[in-house]
Amino acid sequence: MRKLGYRIALFALLLPISAVDATAKKLKKEELIVLHLKAIGENLSRKNRVAQGSGSMDIRVGGQGKLNGRAMLLAEGDKLRTTLTFGHVQYPQETLIRNGDDLDIAYITPGVRSQLGTTIWENFPRLAQEGLYAGVLSTDWALLNLKKKRAKIRYRGLKKFEGLRLHEVDYKPRKKVSYRVRLYFEPETCRHVASKYRIAVPRAAMRGLTNISSGGGAPVGASGGITPGSRTVSNDRGSLLGQIGGPGAGDDPTDRSTVELTERFSDFKEIDGLTLPHLYQISLNVDANTGSVGHWEMKLERMSHDRKINPKAFAIP
């Protein structure tokens, strides 16, 4: 890993951004990283980041329903907080807090996390601590300092991702995990546009998504609430509160389902000398045997840097 860090630094000195046509050929992994960091901007050492906007949650398969609300992202060093506030009795918020090596994902009812929260907590441990969760919106983005992360990366060439031809990279954290991480970069710009995390879990542990009950929520507006037209759907596979169990929840290793968590980044804008995504989307896909898909979204309308953030924002309860 030290050798890779040295080679990246050398490429950064010797390689002008125009020297490689990233759209026309495969790249060496060192070239891709250098071009990616240049695509973010020259001033990568911003102390912190504050972003706010609107948020939503949408159940697309295995139920129906959508919640709208507010979105907030705070990042400072190796600290991160993402919050979607819906104000609904069954789903008041979705909050993840990383403070160094510690992580907390808020319960949506006493002792119960949402399916998204449980999936990250149980199936994709160390995603936030590795600096992968939220991509370049995190001030501890994994590719900013590979030497520090001591991760292994492998460039896989230009691959198809959702109909697009993108640079694909395998990322293996220093601490061994049971899931696969693949990162995707736009050929024209080398911007990081997607991450996909995949794991196989016992099928007996799976529960599907249903929609939010239509009662008890806040009205539609700034505080969130039910989108008109949402309705209750009966679903024997479980409810929004149902959880996806981690490895070991079943006995038959051949009877397993695939869980995919996908992050997408788009609507890139320049702010304070950095080009950052202002649309952040997360999709949870449980394979066809259970047919469950949920979608969470942050539209970041205001973003700023180097502001004073109350340390309590990153406090782990």
Q: pLDDT 10s digit of each residue in the chain, 317 long? A: 445 444 444 444 445 544 445 555 678 999 999 999 999 997 777 889 999 999 999 977 655 678 999 999 999 999 999 999 999 998 999 999 999 999 999 999 999 999 899 999 999 989 999 999 999 999 999 999 888 899 999 999 999 999 999 999 999 999 889 999 999 999 999 999 999 999 998 776 665 554 554 433 333 333 333 332 232 222 222 334 344 444 444 445 567 789 999 999 999 999 999 999 999 999 999 875 566 789 999 999 999 999 999 999 999 98
| pLDDT value at residue 257 | 83
| pLDDT value at residue 11 | 44
| pLDDT value at residue 208 | 53
Other C-beta atoms closer than 10 Å to the C-beta of 155 total 17
Do 263 and 279 form a contact (C-beta atoms < 8 A)? no
Do 143 and 36 form a contact (C-beta atoms < 8 A)? yes
Written as six digits, the tokens of 94 are: 């979705």
Do 99 and 108 form a contact (C-beta atoms < 8 A)? no
Other C-beta atoms closer than 10 Å to the C-beta of 20 total 18
CA–CA separation, 37 and 33 (whole Å): 6
| pLDDT value at residue 293 | 83
| pLDDT value at residue 48 | 95
Q: Give the C-alpha distances (Å, rounded to integers) separating 301 from 52, 273, 279, 304.
A: 6, 17, 9, 10
Give φ, ψ of 73 to 5 degrees: -135, 125
CA–CA separation, 146 and 67 (whole Å): 37
Domain boundaries, given as residue ranges, for the chain? 1-317
| pLDDT value at residue 243 | 44
Q: Burial-class residue 232 by CB neighbours within 10 Å (0-12, 13-18, 19+).
A: middle
Q: Give the C-alpha distances (Å, rounded to integers) separating 168 from 153, 193, 206, 249, 284.
A: 10, 11, 29, 31, 20
